[in-house]
Amino acid sequence: MAFEDDLGIAPSQSIAHDYAGSASELVTRTISLWYRNLIQYIIIVGIIGATLVGGSFLLLSVMFDLFGTLSTDPISYMISLFLDPISDFTLVTVSMGFAIFAFVLNAIIAGAAIKFTLDEYGEKRGDIGTSFSHSIGRVLNVIVVQLILSAFIAIVLTPFTILAFRALEMIDLSDPLNPIIPPQSIELLMSALGILIIGGIFLIYLQVRFTPTLAIVIDSDLSAFDSLKRSWELTSGNFFHVFGGLILLILATFVLGLIVSVVLAFTFLPESYTALIQSLISALLFGSLNYIFATVLYRDLDSRKGISDFPEYVL
Protein backbone atom coordinates (compact mmCIF):
# COMPACT_ATOMS: atom_id res chain seq x y z
CA MET A 1 0.00 0.00 0.00
CA ALA A 2 1.47 3.35 -1.03
CA PHE A 3 1.01 6.78 0.50
CA GLU A 4 -2.13 8.43 -0.81
CA ASP A 5 -2.33 11.52 1.38
CA ASP A 6 -0.72 14.89 0.87
CA LEU A 7 2.61 13.53 2.09
CA GLY A 8 3.11 11.08 -0.77
CA ILE A 9 2.32 10.29 -4.35
CA ALA A 10 0.75 6.93 -4.98
CA PRO A 11 2.85 4.99 -7.48
CA SER A 12 -0.26 4.56 -9.63
CA GLN A 13 -0.17 8.30 -10.37
CA SER A 14 3.00 7.82 -12.39
CA ILE A 15 1.05 5.79 -14.94
CA ALA A 16 -0.63 8.97 -16.15
CA HIS A 17 2.73 10.19 -17.44
CA ASP A 18 5.29 8.71 -19.75
CA TYR A 19 8.37 8.85 -17.57
CA ALA A 20 10.30 6.31 -19.65
CA GLY A 21 13.32 7.64 -21.49
CA SER A 22 16.78 6.78 -22.75
CA ALA A 23 19.85 6.81 -20.52
CA SER A 24 20.76 10.27 -21.78
CA GLU A 25 17.23 11.53 -21.14
CA LEU A 26 17.47 10.35 -17.52
CA VAL A 27 20.47 12.63 -17.04
CA THR A 28 19.05 15.61 -18.96
CA ARG A 29 15.86 15.42 -16.90
CA THR A 30 17.94 15.19 -13.73
CA ILE A 31 19.97 18.26 -14.68
CA SER A 32 16.80 20.12 -15.70
CA LEU A 33 15.09 19.44 -12.35
CA TRP A 34 18.26 20.41 -10.49
CA TYR A 35 18.71 23.65 -12.43
CA ARG A 36 15.05 24.73 -12.18
CA ASN A 37 14.98 24.15 -8.42
CA LEU A 38 18.59 24.92 -7.53
CA ILE A 39 17.73 27.20 -4.60
CA GLN A 40 15.37 24.62 -3.11
CA TYR A 41 17.93 21.84 -3.44
CA ILE A 42 20.59 24.02 -1.85
CA ILE A 43 18.25 24.57 1.11
CA ILE A 44 17.32 20.88 1.38
CA VAL A 45 20.70 19.27 0.74
CA GLY A 46 23.42 21.80 0.00
CA ILE A 47 23.50 23.87 3.17
CA ILE A 48 23.49 20.85 5.46
CA GLY A 49 26.00 18.97 3.31
CA ALA A 50 28.41 21.90 3.21
CA THR A 51 27.96 22.44 6.95
CA LEU A 52 28.93 18.82 7.62
CA VAL A 53 32.06 19.19 5.48
CA GLY A 54 33.02 22.47 7.14
CA GLY A 55 32.10 21.24 10.60
CA SER A 56 34.22 18.11 10.31
CA PHE A 57 37.15 20.20 9.10
CA LEU A 58 36.83 22.55 12.06
CA LEU A 59 36.54 19.67 14.54
CA LEU A 60 39.78 18.15 13.32
CA SER A 61 41.70 21.41 13.05
CA VAL A 62 40.54 23.02 16.31
CA MET A 63 40.41 19.98 18.60
CA PHE A 64 43.23 17.85 17.20
CA ASP A 65 45.33 20.17 15.04
CA LEU A 66 44.71 17.90 12.02
CA PHE A 67 43.92 18.86 8.43
CA GLY A 68 41.13 16.97 6.68
CA THR A 69 37.50 15.94 7.05
CA LEU A 70 35.77 13.20 9.02
CA SER A 71 33.96 10.15 7.68
CA THR A 72 30.15 10.27 7.50
CA ASP A 73 29.79 6.47 7.41
CA PRO A 74 30.15 4.76 10.81
CA ILE A 75 30.58 1.27 9.30
CA SER A 76 33.52 2.22 7.09
CA TYR A 77 35.04 4.17 9.98
CA MET A 78 34.81 1.17 12.33
CA ILE A 79 36.51 -1.03 9.74
CA SER A 80 39.28 1.52 9.25
CA LEU A 81 39.82 1.53 13.02
CA PHE A 82 40.04 -2.25 13.03
CA LEU A 83 42.68 -2.20 10.29
CA ASP A 84 44.60 0.83 11.55
CA PRO A 85 43.84 1.44 15.25
CA ILE A 86 44.05 4.99 16.60
CA SER A 87 45.38 5.36 20.14
CA ASP A 88 43.72 8.75 20.75
CA PHE A 89 40.45 7.80 22.49
CA THR A 90 39.06 11.34 22.22
CA LEU A 91 39.66 11.42 18.47
CA VAL A 92 37.97 8.04 18.03
CA THR A 93 34.98 9.10 20.14
CA VAL A 94 34.52 12.43 18.36
CA SER A 95 34.97 10.84 14.92
CA MET A 96 32.48 8.05 15.60
CA GLY A 97 29.96 10.45 17.12
CA PHE A 98 30.24 12.74 14.12
CA ALA A 99 29.93 9.81 11.69
CA ILE A 100 26.70 8.61 13.34
CA PHE A 101 25.25 12.13 13.50
CA ALA A 102 26.14 12.85 9.86
CA PHE A 103 24.82 9.46 8.74
CA VAL A 104 21.39 10.13 10.25
CA LEU A 105 21.31 13.71 8.99
CA ASN A 106 22.26 12.60 5.48
CA ALA A 107 19.43 10.05 5.57
CA ILE A 108 16.95 12.82 6.38
CA ILE A 109 18.12 15.18 3.64
CA ALA A 110 18.26 12.32 1.13
CA GLY A 111 14.63 11.49 1.83
CA ALA A 112 13.62 15.16 1.69
CA ALA A 113 15.38 15.69 -1.65
CA ILE A 114 13.71 12.60 -3.11
CA LYS A 115 10.26 13.58 -1.82
CA PHE A 116 10.68 17.08 -3.25
CA THR A 117 11.72 15.61 -6.61
CA LEU A 118 8.81 13.16 -6.64
CA ASP A 119 6.41 16.08 -6.29
CA GLU A 120 8.20 18.34 -8.79
CA TYR A 121 8.41 15.51 -11.31
CA GLY A 122 4.77 14.57 -10.81
CA GLU A 123 1.46 16.36 -10.41
CA LYS A 124 2.38 18.60 -7.48
CA ARG A 125 4.71 21.45 -6.67
CA GLY A 126 7.43 20.44 -4.27
CA ASP A 127 7.33 21.89 -0.77
CA ILE A 128 10.44 21.96 1.41
CA GLY A 129 8.61 21.67 4.73
CA THR A 130 6.43 18.79 3.55
CA SER A 131 9.47 17.06 2.09
CA PHE A 132 11.34 17.12 5.41
CA SER A 133 8.25 16.06 7.35
CA HIS A 134 7.71 13.11 5.03
CA SER A 135 11.39 12.16 5.14
CA ILE A 136 11.52 12.12 8.93
CA GLY A 137 8.58 9.71 8.89
CA ARG A 138 10.54 7.33 6.64
CA VAL A 139 14.03 7.93 8.04
CA LEU A 140 14.34 4.58 9.83
CA ASN A 141 13.86 2.63 6.60
CA VAL A 142 16.26 4.97 4.79
CA ILE A 143 18.91 4.35 7.47
CA VAL A 144 18.41 0.58 7.31
CA VAL A 145 18.82 0.60 3.52
CA GLN A 146 21.96 2.73 3.74
CA LEU A 147 23.41 0.49 6.46
CA ILE A 148 22.78 -2.62 4.35
CA LEU A 149 24.43 -1.07 1.29
CA SER A 150 27.35 0.20 3.40
CA ALA A 151 27.76 -3.29 4.84
CA PHE A 152 27.95 -4.74 1.31
CA ILE A 153 30.74 -2.30 0.48
CA ALA A 154 32.58 -3.03 3.72
CA ILE A 155 32.36 -6.81 3.28
CA VAL A 156 33.67 -6.63 -0.29
CA LEU A 157 36.51 -4.17 0.34
CA THR A 158 37.77 -5.44 3.72
CA PRO A 159 39.78 -8.41 2.30
CA PHE A 160 41.48 -6.09 -0.19
CA THR A 161 42.33 -3.59 2.54
CA ILE A 162 43.75 -6.27 4.85
CA LEU A 163 45.99 -7.72 2.13
CA ALA A 164 47.13 -4.27 1.01
CA PHE A 165 48.03 -3.28 4.59
CA ARG A 166 50.02 -6.48 5.11
CA ALA A 167 51.85 -5.98 1.81
CA LEU A 168 52.78 -2.40 2.65
CA GLU A 169 54.00 -3.38 6.12
CA MET A 170 56.55 -5.72 4.51
CA ILE A 171 58.12 -2.96 2.42
CA ASP A 172 61.33 -1.54 3.89
CA LEU A 173 61.17 2.25 3.58
CA SER A 174 64.29 3.04 5.58
CA ASP A 175 65.61 4.53 2.34
CA PRO A 176 62.58 6.13 0.65
CA LEU A 177 64.47 6.51 -2.64
CA ASN A 178 65.35 2.80 -2.73
CA PRO A 179 62.56 0.86 -1.01
CA ILE A 180 63.09 -2.86 -0.53
CA ILE A 181 60.03 -4.76 -1.74
CA PRO A 182 60.13 -8.48 -0.84
CA PRO A 183 58.48 -11.05 -3.17
CA GLN A 184 55.85 -11.83 -0.53
CA SER A 185 54.75 -8.20 -0.60
CA ILE A 186 54.35 -8.28 -4.38
CA GLU A 187 52.31 -11.49 -4.15
CA LEU A 188 50.00 -9.95 -1.56
CA LEU A 189 49.59 -6.78 -3.64
CA MET A 190 48.69 -8.83 -6.72
CA SER A 191 46.17 -10.82 -4.69
CA ALA A 192 44.73 -7.59 -3.29
CA LEU A 193 44.46 -6.16 -6.80
CA GLY A 194 42.60 -9.24 -8.01
CA ILE A 195 40.16 -9.03 -5.10
CA LEU A 196 39.68 -5.31 -5.76
CA ILE A 197 38.85 -5.89 -9.43
CA ILE A 198 36.39 -8.70 -8.74
CA GLY A 199 34.88 -6.87 -5.76
CA GLY A 200 34.66 -3.64 -7.73
CA ILE A 201 32.69 -5.34 -10.51
CA PHE A 202 30.37 -6.87 -7.92
CA LEU A 203 29.83 -3.49 -6.22
CA ILE A 204 29.08 -1.81 -9.55
CA TYR A 205 26.49 -4.50 -10.23
CA LEU A 206 24.88 -3.95 -6.82
CA GLN A 207 24.97 -0.17 -7.30
CA VAL A 208 23.03 -0.53 -10.55
CA ARG A 209 20.47 -2.94 -9.10
CA PHE A 210 19.81 -0.86 -5.96
CA THR A 211 20.00 2.71 -7.33
CA PRO A 212 16.20 3.33 -7.11
CA THR A 213 15.87 1.88 -3.59
CA LEU A 214 15.71 5.13 -1.60
CA ALA A 215 13.12 6.56 -4.00
CA ILE A 216 11.01 3.44 -3.43
CA VAL A 217 11.33 3.84 0.35
CA ILE A 218 10.14 7.44 0.18
CA ASP A 219 7.33 6.85 -2.34
CA SER A 220 5.81 3.81 -0.66
CA ASP A 221 5.32 2.27 2.76
CA LEU A 222 7.41 -0.78 1.91
CA SER A 223 9.97 -1.92 4.47
CA ALA A 224 13.67 -1.49 3.82
CA PHE A 225 14.05 -5.12 2.71
CA ASP A 226 10.94 -5.01 0.51
CA SER A 227 12.23 -1.78 -1.05
CA LEU A 228 15.50 -3.51 -1.91
CA LYS A 229 13.53 -6.38 -3.40
CA ARG A 230 11.36 -3.97 -5.40
CA SER A 231 14.47 -2.21 -6.70
CA TRP A 232 15.88 -5.55 -7.80
CA GLU A 233 12.64 -6.30 -9.66
CA LEU A 234 12.52 -2.91 -11.38
CA THR A 235 16.11 -3.09 -12.60
CA SER A 236 15.81 -6.70 -13.80
CA GLY A 237 16.40 -6.71 -17.55
CA ASN A 238 17.32 -3.01 -17.51
CA PHE A 239 20.89 -3.30 -16.26
CA PHE A 240 22.59 -1.54 -19.16
CA HIS A 241 19.91 1.15 -19.26
CA VAL A 242 20.59 2.02 -15.60
CA PHE A 243 24.34 1.56 -15.98
CA GLY A 244 24.42 3.92 -18.96
CA GLY A 245 22.49 6.55 -17.03
CA LEU A 246 24.88 6.29 -14.07
CA ILE A 247 27.93 6.64 -16.32
CA LEU A 248 26.46 9.73 -17.99
CA LEU A 249 25.58 11.20 -14.58
CA ILE A 250 29.17 10.65 -13.40
CA LEU A 251 30.45 12.38 -16.54
CA ALA A 252 28.07 15.31 -16.05
CA THR A 253 29.06 15.65 -12.39
CA PHE A 254 32.73 15.46 -13.38
CA VAL A 255 32.28 18.30 -15.87
CA LEU A 256 30.52 20.45 -13.26
CA GLY A 257 33.27 19.73 -10.75
CA LEU A 258 35.91 20.49 -13.36
CA ILE A 259 34.37 23.91 -13.94
CA VAL A 260 34.62 24.62 -10.20
CA SER A 261 38.26 23.43 -10.19
CA VAL A 262 39.17 25.70 -13.10
CA VAL A 263 37.60 28.71 -11.38
CA LEU A 264 39.38 27.93 -8.10
CA ALA A 265 42.69 27.53 -9.92
CA PHE A 266 42.69 31.28 -10.53
CA THR A 267 42.39 32.05 -6.80
CA PHE A 268 46.04 30.98 -6.22
CA LEU A 269 45.16 29.49 -2.83
CA PRO A 270 47.23 26.64 -1.35
CA GLU A 271 46.26 23.29 -2.85
CA SER A 272 44.98 21.92 0.47
CA TYR A 273 42.59 24.84 0.94
CA THR A 274 41.51 24.68 -2.69
CA ALA A 275 40.51 21.04 -2.17
CA LEU A 276 38.50 21.99 0.93
CA ILE A 277 36.72 24.84 -0.86
CA GLN A 278 35.95 22.57 -3.79
CA SER A 279 34.44 20.01 -1.40
CA LEU A 280 32.30 22.74 0.18
CA ILE A 281 31.07 24.03 -3.19
CA SER A 282 30.40 20.52 -4.48
CA ALA A 283 28.38 19.66 -1.38
CA LEU A 284 26.47 22.94 -1.62
CA LEU A 285 25.62 22.80 -5.32
CA PHE A 286 25.86 19.20 -6.51
CA GLY A 287 25.00 17.12 -3.44
CA SER A 288 21.40 16.61 -4.57
CA LEU A 289 22.13 15.24 -8.06
CA ASN A 290 22.30 11.58 -7.02
CA TYR A 291 18.96 11.81 -5.22
CA ILE A 292 17.30 13.53 -8.16
CA PHE A 293 18.66 10.91 -10.55
CA ALA A 294 17.46 8.06 -8.31
CA THR A 295 13.95 9.54 -8.39
CA VAL A 296 13.92 10.10 -12.16
CA LEU A 297 15.22 6.57 -12.67
CA TYR A 298 12.58 5.12 -10.33
CA ARG A 299 9.78 6.80 -12.29
CA ASP A 300 11.37 5.63 -15.54
CA LEU A 301 11.62 2.00 -14.46
CA ASP A 302 8.18 2.00 -12.85
CA SER A 303 6.57 3.31 -16.04
CA ARG A 304 8.24 0.61 -18.14
CA LYS A 305 6.33 -2.18 -16.38
CA GLY A 306 8.17 -5.08 -17.93
CA ILE A 307 9.90 -3.32 -20.83
CA SER A 308 13.50 -4.51 -20.65
CA ASP A 309 16.70 -4.84 -22.60
CA PHE A 310 17.11 -8.52 -21.72
CA PRO A 311 15.04 -11.30 -20.12
CA GLU A 312 14.90 -11.10 -16.33
CA TYR A 313 16.97 -14.27 -15.88
CA VAL A 314 19.89 -12.64 -17.74
CA LEU A 315 20.38 -9.60 -15.51
How does pLDDT run across 1-27, given as a tens digit for each residue?
Answer: 444 444 344 444 444 467 889 999 999
Rounded alpha-carbon distances, angstroms, from residue 255 to 147, 249, 282:
30, 10, 12
Q: What is the pLDDT of residues 234-258, one digit of tens each?
A: 999 999 999 999 999 999 999 999 9
- Rounded average pLDDT over 176-183: 84
**Domain spans, the chain:** 19-304
**Overall residue count recorded for the chain in this entry:** 315
Q: Which pLDDT belongs to residue 84?
A: 62
Query: What average pLDDT does the structure give for the chain?
Result: 87
Lowest mean pLDDT among 3-17, 48-62, 66-80: 3-17
Q: What is the pLDDT of residues 262-278, one digit of tens each?
A: 998 888 888 878 889 99
Instruction: Report how far apart the first and last C-alpha atoms of the chain are (Å, whole number).
Output: 27
Angle between helical axes of 47-58 and 271-286 (0-180°, round to 10): 150
- Rounded average pLDDT over 146-158: 89
Q: How far apart (Å, rounded) are the C-alpha atoms in residues 223 and 254?
A: 34
Burial of 96 (0-12, 13-18, 19+ CB in 10 A): middle
How many CB atoms are located within 10 Å of the residue 310 CB? 13
- Rounded average pLDDT over 193-199: 94
Q: Which of 90, 39, 49 is nearest to 72 (CA)?
A: 49
